[in-house]
Amino acid sequence: MKRTCFFVMSAAVLSACAAQPANLRSTSTQPVPNARHAAGTSMGRAELWAATCSRCHNLRAATEFSPAQWAVILNHMRSNAGLSGQDYRMLLEYLAGRKAVETPTTTAQIGSGQK
């Protein structure tokens, strides 16, 4: 019980400290939001990328993988991290610069990957 109280208290203190938005700093190994998407509406995607991926591991820059590789990786992460379809498409657009196909409506369309 003491242990639980200690951890809950620690969490509360740190949460209070974290009232300001995430500060993504530029370091040699800590990628920052991709410059080619860093303006305008893409900031939402950059924030989503930073907040979602850092829940488990260090952030990976868009340049680390090709667009095709990102499509494969994000599909895997969609399943692993409980991402919604919308989150998946936003991250795919941000990291791979590609739009995902829309939700298919028939089995045949699912098989072919076409809308």
Partner 1 sequence: MRKILTCVITLLLVVLAVPRHASAQQVPREEYEKLKAQLDSLKAEMNEAFDEFDSTIAGIRDSIRFSQHGTTRLLFSGYGVTDFISTRDGESEFEAEVAPMMLWHLNDRIHFAAQTEIEAGEEDLTINLEYANIALHATDFLTFGAGKFITPFSVFLPRLHAAWINKLPSKPMAFTDDGIAPLSSLGAFVRGGFGGAATRMTYDVYVINAPELITTGDRVGQIKSVDGGDERAFGGRFAFVFLKPGIELGGSYQTSEVARLRALDFSFTHAIAPLGGNFDLRFEALRSEPDQNVFAGLVEGTTRSFVKNRYEGGYGQFAYRPTSSKALRNVEASVRYDWVNYPDWRDGPNGDDATRYTAGIAYVFTPSMQIKFGYESRDNKITEDTRSLVLRTAIGF
Q: Pick one of 1, 5, 35, 58: the residue that binds partner 1 (CB under 8 A).
A: 58
Q: Pick one of 11, 38, 39, 43: the residue that binds partner 1 (CB under 8 A).
A: 11
Please state the closest distance from residue 93 (CB atom) to partner 1, in A.
12
User: Does the footprint of partner 1 cover residue 86 (CB under 8 A)?
Assistant: yes
Give dist(CA 47, CA 42) in Å, integer.
9
Site residues for partner 1, 34-53, by CB under 8 A, read 47-48, 51-52
Give dist(CA 33, CA 49) in Å, integer.
8
Give dist(CA 31, CA 82) in Å, integer.
23
Distances (CA, A) of 18 to 25, 45, 85, 88: 15, 21, 28, 26
User: Does the footprint of partner 1 cover residue 105 (CB under 8 A)?
Assistant: no
Question: Secondary structure of the chain: what % helix, strand, coil (to 5)?
Answer: 55, 0, 45
User: Does the footprint of partner 1 cover residue 59 (CB under 8 A)?
Assistant: yes
Q: Pick one of 9, 22, 38, 43: the residue that binds partner 1 (CB under 8 A).
A: 22
User: Does the footprint of partner 1 cover residue 32 (CB under 8 A)?
Assistant: no
